[in-house]
Structure 1
Amino acid sequence: MGKTGGRGDFEWVDNDQPHTSRRKEILAKYPEIKSLMGPDPQLKWVVSGMVLTQLLACYLVHDLSWKWIFFWAYAFGGCINHSLILAIHDISHNVAFGNKLAKWNRWFAMWANLPIGLPCSASFKKYHIDHHRYLGGDQLDVDIPTDIEGWFFCTPARKVLWLFLQPFFYAIRPLMVKPKPVGQLEILNAAVQLIVDIMIYYLWGLKPIVYLIAGTILCLGLHPLSGHFIAEHYMFLKGHETYSYYGPLNLITFNVGYHMEHHDFPSIPGSKLPQVKQIAAEYYNSLPQHTSWIRVLWDFVFDDSIGPYARIKREYKLSKEE
């Protein structure tokens, strides 16, 4: 458990991300894929059902003992909150109401944010767009761990700790790598979240608040669903920086496992990404893919060649306007 990981730096490349060229090639061959772009009319109902389920759970857990609060937070509530985080990811691409109603997507993301307990939807949108535009970009893509993370979390025991602390690193990394000014939407997001948290506390006490926030932290950390964080872009095979997973956990994670397809076509809702793979099967079937997020976590911890440093990085030359 004390063996040092094999990588001492990121995998630096001088080529562009593969998604841009593949998108153009696929659309030229299969222009019908454009019909999949646009809002998903079912998303708002699915997300609203999940939010209301968690509000009901707040009432149901308010008299439970603390051990059961944490049990249900990890086994049930956190799973819903993790799924809501991924719904916010989808909504950040305007697939709830479409590009013409962009503000509606931002407000709806705040509604999806409520059971998470902490405000995140507005800031997520602001940084996530850079992850797509500058995938692997040094000092641009805040999805990539910092050098400190890569250097320190290099043994199995430390990598387990890093997995547990993932939600904290995702929260503080943008402030360390590329801080952006706080906008009005972020202030509104925080104000709405605080008001709802206070209302829940007033109605049912502290335990529902702990249930929501603990579930979020636990299930974004060391949890089977969190395998997708590692599976998406960590370099399990040299030269490959994005991977898909087509297993059953996609059913409760808005098809985030179809990650190759998502980066090729970010404006297509998660619910329609399987159709992308079906139409352009020859582009995806031959690419490396994961079959288990739990196996991904296991390999991440015990394979010396995989760790926070196992990411492809590149330099982007930005114009002054950017």
Structure 2
Amino acid sequence: MGKATGRWDFEWVYNEQPHTLRRKEILAKYPEIKSLMGHDPQLKWVVSGMVLTQLLACYMVHDLPWKWLFFWAYAFGGCINHSLTLAIHDISHNVAFGNKQARLNRWFAMFANLPIGLPYSASFKKYHIDHHRYLGGDGLDVDIPTDLEGWFFSTPLRKVVWLFLQPLFYALRPLVVNPKPLTQLEILNGVVQLVVDVLIYYLWGLKPIIYLIAGSLLCMGLHPISGHFIAEHYMFLKGHETYSYYGPLNSITFNVGYHMEHHDFPSIPGSRLPLVKKIAAEFYDPLPQHTSWARVLWDFVFDDSIGPYARIKRQYKLVKQE
């Protein structure tokens, strides 16, 4: 458990991200894919049902013993909360109400944020656009670990700790890599979240708050669903920086596993990404893909060639966005 990973730097490349070119090629051959773009009218109802389920769970867990509280937070509530973060990911592309209702999408993302327990949605939107526009961009894409993470979390045991602490790194890394001014939407997000948390505490006490926050942190850390964080962009094969997963966990994660398709067409809702793969199968079938998120986590920990440094990076000759 003490052997260090064989990587001591990121994989630096000097070409553009592959998604721009592939998008053009696919649209030239299959222009009908444009019809898949736009909002998903079912998304708001699915998300609302998940939020209401968690509010009901807050009532049901308020008198549970602590050991069962954490069990259900990890096994049930955290899975819903992780799924809600992926709904927020979808909503950040305006697919809940469409591009003409951008503000409504932001407010609905705050509603989806409520069971997570901590304000998240407005900040995610602010940085996620850079992840698509500047994929792998040094100092721009905050999805990429820092040099400190790559250097220190280089043994199997340390990589397990890194996986467990993933929510912490995702929250703090933007402040180090690419700090941006606080926005009014982020302040509103924080105020709304605080008001709802206080209301839940007033109605049912501390345990529901612990249930929500603990579930979010646990299921975005060392949990099978969290395998998607590693599966999406960590370089399991040299030269390949984005990977898709087509397994059953897509059914509870808004098809985030169709990640190659998502980066090619970010304005297409997750519910329609399987159609992209079906229409343009010859573009996606030959590409490397993952078959198990749990296996991804195992390989990440025990494969010496994979670690926080196993990411493709590039320099963008652009003015850094404020």
Which TM-score applies when normalising by structure 1? Answer: 0.99
Distance 1:268 1:41 in 2: 13
Distance 1:124 1:4 in 2: 32
Q: Write the letter of the residue equivalent to 2:179.
A: P
Q: Write the letter of the residue equivalent to 1:132.
A: H
Aligned to 1:135: 135
Aligned to 2:283: 283
Q: Write the letter of the residue equivalent to 2:132.
A: H
Distance 2:4 2:82 in 1: 31
Listed as ranges, the matches of 1:69-84 within 5 Å are 69-84=69-84
Is residue 305 of structure 2 the alignment partner of residue 305 of structure 1? yes
Aligned to 1:37: 37
Aligned to 2:177: 177
Aligned to 1:59: 59
Distance 1:319 1:214 in 2: 39
* Structure 1 gap segments, 5+ residues each: none
Aligned to 2:224: 224
Aligned to 2:46: 46
Distance 1:34 1:159 in 2: 41
Aligned to 1:295: 295
Q: Write the letter of the residue equivalent to 2:53.
A: T
Aligned to 1:13: 13
Distance 2:248 2:319 in 1: 42
Aligned residues: 322
CA drift of 1:58 comes to 0.1
CA drift of 1:193 comes to 0.2
Distance 1:295 1:279 in 2: 28
CA drift of 1:320 comes to 7.4
Distance 1:183 1:152 in 2: 33
CA drift of 1:321 comes to 7.5
Aligned to 1:207: 207
* Structure 2 gap segments, 5+ residues each: none
Q: Deviations over 1:124-174 (max 9, x none)?
A: 000000000000000000000000000000000000000000000000000
Distance 2:301 2:195 in 1: 40
Aligned in 2, Cα 1:148/1:204: closer, same or farther, shift over 3 Å?
A: same
CA drift of 1:100 comes to 0.2
Distance 1:45 1:5 in 2: 45
Distance 1:209 1:298 in 2: 31
Q: Write the letter of the residue equivalent to 1:18.
A: P
Instruction: Describe the SS at the equivalent of 1:294.
Output: helix
Instruction: Describe the SS at the equivalent of 1:163.
Output: helix
Distance 2:17 2:109 in 1: 28
Aligned in 2, Cα 1:320/1:51: closer, same or farther, shift over 3 Å?
A: closer
Aligned to 1:122: 122
Aligned to 1:189: 189
Listed as ranges, the matches of 1:93-104 within 5 Å are 93-104=93-104
Instruction: Describe the SS at the equivalent of 2:268.
Output: coil
Q: Write the letter of the residue equivalent to 2:51.
A: V
CA contact (8 A) 2:135 2:141 kept: yes
Q: Deviations over 1:21-47 (max 9, x none)?
A: 000010010000000000000000000
Listed as ranges, the matches of 1:146-161 within 5 Å are 146-161=146-161
CA drift of 1:319 comes to 4.0
Identity of aligned residues (%): 85
Aligned to 2:314: 314
Distance 2:247 2:281 in 1: 16
Q: Write the letter of the residue equivalent to 1:286.
A: P
Instruction: Describe the SS at the equivalent of 2:136.
Output: coil
